């Protein structure tokens, strides 16, 4: 279960600081639309894009707010090819470059209309990563804690590793977020704002995740969106 702690008790992963030398901005609308099948394939094949879409879509659906979403490039394609794929999906792609001329944390904002239509169809057809969907997309915003606070997971209850434990550990989404723990992007935390703390305390997936990290935390963070305060829940961890 999650036990409340003070901020100074949290162990943080090292996050690289970088000197920003140049910024390029791509407006997705100017790249031109493409057909739905291409967008569908891009989303299916890239867990990083699924995570970014889920994060942005949740805030738009629940709070009617467009927020910035940070990601890192996968490195599987050239920088230009990856940017072109992102510009198919997102309205705005901002690329800061470090002192070595390499892109670092990419900022995304807004989902293009055709891409949002494809994404919603994929949600309805259960085509997205199941663990990602479970944590981020299946439940509406729940506010059961109206203050900034921090919790650490303690395995007090007698949970057991069930038959789906291995598939959880080997899930593409879980592997991706644990690999990215040192880059503070939307892949280095999990938005669980649809869950109450009580539900999270009894959740087997929370227990499973806690076995893969040294410290599992729950952050309650205050956001002001459209002149109203909300308290967002994020799972974070130290490895």
The per-residue pLDDT for range 59-100, each reduced to its tens digit, is 999 999 999 999 887 777 787 888 888 999 999 998 888 778
Structure tokens at 210: 């806690």
Judge whether 27 and 91 are in contact, CB under 8 Å: yes
Q: Cα(235)–Cα(231) distance, rounded to whole angstroms?
A: 13
DSSP state of 11: -
Closest of 232, 216, 234, 228 to residue 1, by C-alpha: 216
Beta bridge partners of 236: 217
Q: Cα(160)–Cα(170) distance, rounded to whole angstroms?
A: 18
At 21-59, the pLDDT tens digits run 778 887 755 444 578 999 999 999 999 999 999 999 999
Cα 34 from chain centroid (whole Å): 25
Closest of 167, 218, 174 to residue 196, by C-alpha: 218
At 185-208, the pLDDT tens digits run 888 899 999 999 999 999 999 999
pLDDT of residue 158: 67
pLDDT of residue 16: 66
pLDDT of residue 30: 45
The 3-class secondary structure across 186-224, one letter per residue, is CCCCEECCCCCHHHHHCCHHHHHHHCCCCEEEEEEEEEE
Closest of 220, 217, 239 to residue 231, by C-alpha: 220
Q: Cα(189)–Cα(219) distance, rounded to whole angstroms?
A: 10
Beta bridge partners of 234: 191, 219
pLDDT of residue 181 exceeding 50:
yes
At 103-132, the pLDDT tens digits run 778 899 999 999 999 999 999 999 999 999
pLDDT of residue 77: 75
Measured in degrees and rounded to the nearest 5, phi and psi for residue 213 equal: -130, 165
| Residue matched to tokens 């669980």 | 192
């Amino acid at each position: 279960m999650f036990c409340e702690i003070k901020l100074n008790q949290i162990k943080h992963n090292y996050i690289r600081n970088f000197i920003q030398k140049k910024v390029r901005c791509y407006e997705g609308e100017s790249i031109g639309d493409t057909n739905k099948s291409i967008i569908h394939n891009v989303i299916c094949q890239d867990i990083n894009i699924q995570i970014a879409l889920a994060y942005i879509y949740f805030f738009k659906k629940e709070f009617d707010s467009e927020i910035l979403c940070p990601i890192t490039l996968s490195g599987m394609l050239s920088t230009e090819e990856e940017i072109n794929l992102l510009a198919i999906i997102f309205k705005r792609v901002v690329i800061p470059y470090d002192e070595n001329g390499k892109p670092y944390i990419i900022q995304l904002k807004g989902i293009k209309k055709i891409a949002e239509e494809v994404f919603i169809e994929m949600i309805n057809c259960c085509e997205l990563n199941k663990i990602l969907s479970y944590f981020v997309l299946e439940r509406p915003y729940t506010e059961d804690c109206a203050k900034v606070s921090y919790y650490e997971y303690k395995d007090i209850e007698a949970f057991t590793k069930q038959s789906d434990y291995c598939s959880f550990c080997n899930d593409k989404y879980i592997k991706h977020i644990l690999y990215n723990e040192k880059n503070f992007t939307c892949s280095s935390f999990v938005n669980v704002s649809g869950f109450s703390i009580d539900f999270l305390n009894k959740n087997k997936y929370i227990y499973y995740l806690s076995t893969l990290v040294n410290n599992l935390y729950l952050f309650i963070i205050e956001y002001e969106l459209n002149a109203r305060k909300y308290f967002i829940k994020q799972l974070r961890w130290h490895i």
